[in-house]
Structure 1
Amino acid sequence: MGNAAPQLVATDLDGTLVRSDGSVSPYSVEVLAELDRRGIPVVFVTGRPLRWTEEVFEYVGSHGLAIVSNGALVWDVARHEPWLERPIDPAVALDVARELRATIPGVGFAIETLEGWAMEPGYPGHRADDDRGFAAQRVAPLEELLSGPVLKLLVRGGGLAADAFVDAAVTVVGDRVNVTHSSFPLLEISALEVTKASTLALIAERLGAAPEHVVAFGDMPNDLPMLTWAGLSYAMADAHPAVLACASHVAPGHDDDGVARVLAEVLGL
């Protein structure tokens, strides 16, 4: 990228742009606004579902697009409608779930759709949903939940740590779907071709940004494809070890406004 200004900035949210208390700091907000004034789009690229991402839509900028659910959905903030949906085929999701249930005892399943989330009986909910007041829209056997396309298949249980959980699942179904995690032992399963990177590439093309002129920030394994794809990549100082090993640079931690501080330096703000 040299000394040229980036054509596009891509940033994860939790553990990256968003602080531990759930806020985007005033300093970060001002830096994002300055990039928007300079015509440099900042695209939020998150594993969060739509209902959690809406909290930061006021900071999206004039380009108006946000990538959620690890790339399975691009939301047009201004129009309040999908710009792109990249769902999993329900037959594939059901086949994958059956194999995971047979090989990793104790797992339970839920799904993410455009409308919200639903779960099979006994699935442990998510504290983030509880804290925000988002109850499951439906509780039913997985075969009934998978009557149509879903954005993500979620898997919890089995007693494995997050990385080991992903490794075990990839061994079984990694040739049919994309399996990742973004923090705790929760498998986030998307269609095979769907990653943060593959969806970001579509937006970058729309916005006229070449990969080598993209700066990306992340902290967790679901960010790895995006960090590998971008011309310049930053792992947050407190990132997952695999992310620190992958990225070309290290940014200060998310509680130290690392994204904003790096962008301010790159742009000479």
Structure 2
Amino acid sequence: MRPKLVATDLDGTLVRSDGSVSPYTADVLAKVEALGVPVVFVTGRPLRWTEEVFEHVGSHGLAVVSNGALVWDVARHRPHLERPIEPALGLEMCTLLREALPGTVFAVETLDGIGLEPEFLERHRVPEGARRAPIAELFDEPALKLLARHEELAPQEFWDAAEQVVLGRLVITWSSSTSLLEISAPGVTKASTLALLCADLGVDAADVIAFGDMPNDLPMLSWAGTSYAMADAHPTVTQAASHVAPGHDEDGVAQVLAGVFGL
């Protein structure tokens, strides 16, 4: 049976290595939307980076951002749903993480942008005017995402150690090539927020086809009725998905969708 909704990650999945969405992929997405099938971007990117690809969001106009912490209404340019971390819980976890893993530094993402501790070495250009302050000052309102970085521990080592500290009180995931943990509110994942969106649209999990490449995609791929790991995905993602798509630089998502929908 033909899927009723497409859910796709962006970086390493839909978006090419140069940051672009190819004309072929854009054309396929538009044709799928024209069939009445929503294509929903489900990304770990913050809002400020997701806006770069909103031109490819169809008439439904919804995107799942910051690993499920935000559903953004593109057409109305406003939040449709927010699932943030409360400051008290977030700061408690920061204290515990720093005590257990000295050298951990933090940043927070809100609708207003990113705030970083002075020692936080960001790998991407920081927006002009971004706040720099200790985490106790930055975390003064609910945050869509808490970022934890370590310059010495390997990514998997950092993640495993952090899980032993947090013990499920927040959701920790990872989608970077560096030791950067992405931390969300309790129960917030790409899957749990996508499930809420699909419930609003009257779409069952069995009717969703999903694409991803990194550990933060695992809940979504496990939830969707049909799941694809990209050819160059993280090994855990390849193991979890039911199918493998060509790589993101080969327009793998578009190739699969063209076949599934007979385009």
CA contact (8 A) 2:150 2:158 kept: no
Contact 2:108–2:144, Cα closer than 8 Å, also in 1: yes
Superposed structure 1 runs of 4+ greater than 4 Å apart: none
The aligned residue for residue 137 of structure 1 is 130
Point out where structure 2 has 5 or more consecutive residues left out of the alignment.
Answer: none
Q: 1:173 aligns with which of 166, 170, 175?
A: 166
Shift of 1:135: 3.7
Give the corresponding residue for 2:37. Answer: 40
Q: Find the partner of 1:243 among 229, 237, 243.
A: 237
Measured in 2, the distance between the counterparts of 1:251 and 1:164 equals 29
Match of 1:264 among 254, 258, 263: 258
Q: Letter of the aligned partner of 1:138 in structure 2?
A: R
Match among 61, 67, 87 for residue 58 of structure 2? 61
The answer on whether the counterparts of 1:104 and 1:158 sit within 8 Å (CA) in structure 2 is no
1:147 and 2:140 aligned: yes
For residue 216 of structure 1, what is the aligned residue in structure 2? 210
* Aligned counterparts of 1:20 and 1:98: Cα–Cα separation in 2: 36
Residue 232 of structure 1 corresponds to which residue in structure 2?
226
Whether the 8 Å contact between 1:118 and 1:136 is mirrored in structure 2 is no
How many angstroms does 1:15 deviate by? 0.1
Offset at 1:227? 0.2
Q: 2:119 aligns with which of 119, 122, 128?
A: 122
| Structure 1: unaligned runs, 5 residues or longer | none
State the identity as a percent: 65
Residue 136 of structure 1: CA displacement?
A: 5.6
Aligned equivalents of 1:177 and 1:195: distance in 2?
10
Are the counterparts in 2 of residues 117 and 136 from structure 1 also a CA contact under 8 Å? no
Deviations 1:74-98, CA, capped at 9 Å, x for gaps? 1000000000110001111101100
Amino acid at match of 2:146: L
Q: Secondary structure at the match of 2:217?
A: helix
State the Cα distance separating 1:126 from its structure 2 match: 2.8
1:157 correspondence with 2:154: no
CA distance in 1, matches of 2:49, 2:209: 24
Scaled by the length of structure 2, the TM-score of the pair is 0.97
Aligned residues: 262
SS in 1 for 2:156: helix
Which position in structure 2 is the counterpart of 1:198? 192
- Please list the CA deviations of residues 212-252 of structure 1 after superposition, one character each: whole Å capped at 9, or x if unmatched: 01000000000000000000000000000000000000000
